[in-house]
Structure 1
Amino acid sequence: MAQEFNVRIPTVPAVIDHIQLRDIQLPLPMGPDPWHRPRKPQPCTASIKLSYSSAIAAAAADDVALSLDYGKLYRRVEAEIREAGHRSVHGEALNVGSIKGGETKLEDFLGEDVRRIAGLIADCGFGLLDETVAGVRRMSHSHQSLPVASTQTTSSGTAGAEAQAQTAIAANAPRPDPIDSEYAQCEVWLHLPKALLRAEGGLKYRSVTVWGYKEPSGEGAEAGRQPMVLEQEFRIEGIRSYCILGVNSHERLEKQAVIISLEFKGPGQLSWGSTVVKTYQEMARVVAERVEETSYQTVEALATFIARIVTVEFGNERVTVTVEKPSALAFVERAGVEITRSQAFFAQQDYLRMKEGIEPSSR
């Protein structure tokens, strides 16, 4: 009988604290290669924001032992990525839903999918949090087991007795709760500047991962904890093309540069992200080449043309397209338009055109 689960995401605590690592230089042993060569090292910049509840106790006691060590987080992430090809792991142990268990080289596991890299980094953050919580609990238990000094004294030892009494009161006073591992959120940003030949800004990816708690609803199912990707975002930045664009007479004479960016954003547990991963390299090339064949008067028309290619031809559900003209205004670096379109939008447009006896638009 198939196991069935409901997954509970913990309520966000009243007090949340964060540790951050920004712009880590993180060379990948292999990653998305613009020439489609397998097992090629790639440059990558990563940032991490690990959120948890909470650092109140560390601040109150001014004790580093009650805090998360961001130096340790960096070393853990760097070591995990650097040693990626040196061991085998079970895919199901990592924070990527597309791998269904089985023994695989982690080097192969990283592959072309930036989600896997982000998932590995998020796992490092969650592992550090669990390790820190366990250490704090051991330290707390050790302190509680220490004998409390007697406060009985003679009249000649009044000052010492008062000091001991104050110490005992402080020891028994309510203390701020130490960090807790039930709630954890890890936000990861990745930038692969050389993942695409036709995109000067490369590929950017962002994910937000939390702990999810499996609550069994079927026979034989067991409760447990697993990372859940709540949201994710892909950005392809700086696709440069040259085309005729504009209404002014001088703009109709010669092609000008246009800078195109594509953004894909949505929930983390749906299949739309896999479509982006499978298509983004070819999609960037096709967009760049097709734009150079166009001759629109408005930036809006060009942006809509690009959105149709990305959604209808490459099967992506939704895209935000930004088109900018560096040469439009003398004292403005770039001027442009941003639109968001979906497959459903173009399907509706084509349906209405067919009802009117007009061929579906290719624009």
Structure 2
Amino acid sequence: MDKIILKNLRFDLAVGFDAWRRFGKPQPTLITLEIQPEVNFEAAAAQDNVNLSMDYGALYKKISGGLQGGEVFPTVHALISRLHTVVYNFTKLDIDILFPKALLQVNGGVLYQFQVDNSGPGVAISTLSVTVKQIACNCIVGVNPHERLYHQSLFIDVTVPLMTAALGSEPPEEPYTVALHDMVREIVEKVDGSAYHTLEALATAVAQIVTINYGHKAVKIRIEKPSAIATIEAAAVEITRTKTFFENKDFWKVKRP
């Protein structure tokens, strides 16, 4: 599997809403592309000839030239579509778009991951997901006596598939983008007021918020607990749940110490 990679192209782009829910305001944007061309690099390597490979310098110029001039992209889909049209003659294309300051109370930003797979026969398969990275929360969590006394810092990642062959497409992005702000605020408010013995129970409760309250068909939740063990960076759990899992169930019980 041979690839050309352009990592972390940096722009200030107006894409949808910023952290303050203002439409059309430029914000820092990092774009990474991984391209698997239709022809591998064997001939280019054998002859040491750049003309037999994909010219990533020319590709960079096309991308950067097409993203200047103060254009407003109403949704991230519009930005992805622009990037997609620049790349050609590929078997697989991965586009990662990170908005590091897209949401308040989020340390790691918002990451959109788009992939097009042309390797199989017939129609190309496209997938798109969004990850809210490191939602900063504080709560009582743990089984040890000292953990029942003080709030600990937690970092929560929420990953939602927006487009897959199995699940189909989520609702249009305009209301979804605004709902991201509401979802993060609700998660922070409820986690900050809770007390759990296990990260597993807390992660399941957060998954219920995302699927039931915000209508997503599936979600992956990752929670890191930096203070769990003094000699490691963090302990973490990661779960994946569907909306149907929570039918006739209620995992959100705001427990007190």
Q: What range describes the TM-score normalised by the shorter chain of this pair?
A: 0.7 to 0.9
Q: Secondary structure at the match of 1:233?
A: strand
Q: Secondary structure at the match of 1:76?
A: helix
Q: Tell me by how many angstroms 1:263 deviates.
A: 1.2
**What is the distance in 1 between the residues matched to 2:204 and 2:110?**
22
Q: Deviations over 1:85-123 (max 9, x none)?
A: 2xxxxxxxxxxxxxxxxxxxxx2xx22x32332232121
Distance 1:326 1:230 in 2: 35
Give the counterpart of 1:313 among 207, 213, 221: 213
Q: What's the offset of the Cα at 1:362?
A: 3.9
Which has the larger strand fraction? 2
TM-score (norm 1): 0.62
Q: Which runs of 5+ in 1 are unaligned?
A: 1-15, 86-106, 127-180, 216-225, 351-359
> Is 1:298 aligned to 2:198, yes or no?
yes
Question: Aligned pair 1:83/2:83, yes or no?
Answer: no
Deviations 1:24-65 (A, max 9, x none): 112214443000112211111111112122144444444433
Listed as ranges, the matches of 1:303-342 within 5 Å are: 303-342=203-242
Question: d(CA) in 1 for partners of 2:238 and 2:119?
Answer: 35
Quick one: which amino acid aligns to residue 73 of structure 1?
L
Helix, strand or coil at the partner of 1:286:
helix
Residue 46 of structure 1: which of 31, 38, 50 is its match?
A: 31
Which has more radius of gyration?
Answer: 1
CA contact (8 A) 1:25 1:46 kept: yes
* Displacement after TM superposition at 1:279 (Å): 2.5
Alignment of 1:18-37 (within 5 A): 18-37=3-22
Q: Deviation string for 1:201-246 (max 9, x for gaps)?
A: 0101111124599x8xxxxxxxxxx9x5522221111111111112
Q: Provide the rounded CA distance (Å) in 2 between the counterparts of 1:30 and 1:344.
A: 32
Query: In the alignment, which residue of structure 1 is the partner of 2:85?
Result: 123
TM-score, length-normalised on structure 2? 0.86
Task: Assess, with a 3 A threshold, how the Cα gap between structure 1 residues 333 and 63 changes in structure 2: closer, same or farther.
Answer: closer
Query: Where do 1:208-247 residues align within 5 Å?
Result: 208-210=115-117, 228=124, 230-247=126-143
Closer/same/farther in 2, CA of residues 82 and 273 from structure 1, 3 Å limit: farther
- Superposition deviation, residue 332 in structure 1: 1.6
Change (3 A) 1:212 1:266: farther
Kept after mapping to 2: 8 A contact 1:207/1:229: no
CA contact (8 A) 1:122 1:187 kept: no
CA deviation vs aligned residue, 1:132-166 (integer Å, no higher than 9, x gap):
xxxxxxxxxxxxxxxxxxxxxxxxxxxxxxxxxxx
Pairing 1:5-154 to 2, within 5 Å after superposition: 17-54=2-39, 55-83=41-69, 85=71, 107=72, 110-111=73-74, 113-126=75-88
Gaps of 5+ in 2: none
Per the alignment, residue 114 of structure 2 pairs with: 207
**Residue type of the alignment partner of 1:36:** R
Residues 1:120 and 1:210: Cα distance change in structure 2 (over 3 Å): farther
Tell me the CA shift for residue 343 of structure 1.
0.6
- Give yes or no for contact 2:142–2:148 (8 Å, CA) kept in 1: yes
In structure 2, C-alpha distance between the alignment counterparts of 1:120 and 1:233, rounded to whole Å: 18
Q: Residues 280 and 194 from structure 1, CA distance in 2 versus in 1: closer, same or farther, beyond 3 angstroms?
A: same
Contact in 2 for aligned 1:29/1:81 (Cα 8 Å) = no
Alpha-carbon separation, structure 1, partners of 2:238 and 2:118: 34
1:311 Cα shift?
0.4
Q: CA deviation at 1:283?
A: 0.8
Q: 1:247 touches 1:297 (CA, 8 Å); kept in 2? A: yes
After TM superposition, the structure 1 stretch with the greater mean CA deviation from structure 2, 25-34 or 334-343, is: 25-34
The 1:273–1:58 alpha-carbon spacing in structure 2 relative to 1, beyond 3 Å, is farther
2:102 to 192, 195, 199: 195
Give how far 1:273 is off. Answer: 6.7
The CA RMSD over aligned residues, in Å, is 2.6
Do 2:37 and 2:54's aligned partners in 1 also have CA atoms closer than 8 Å? no
- The offset of 1:361, in angstroms, is 5.2
Alpha-carbon distance change, 32 to 184 in structure 1, aligned in 2, over 3 angstroms:
farther
More helix by share: 1
State the percentage of identical aligned residues.
32
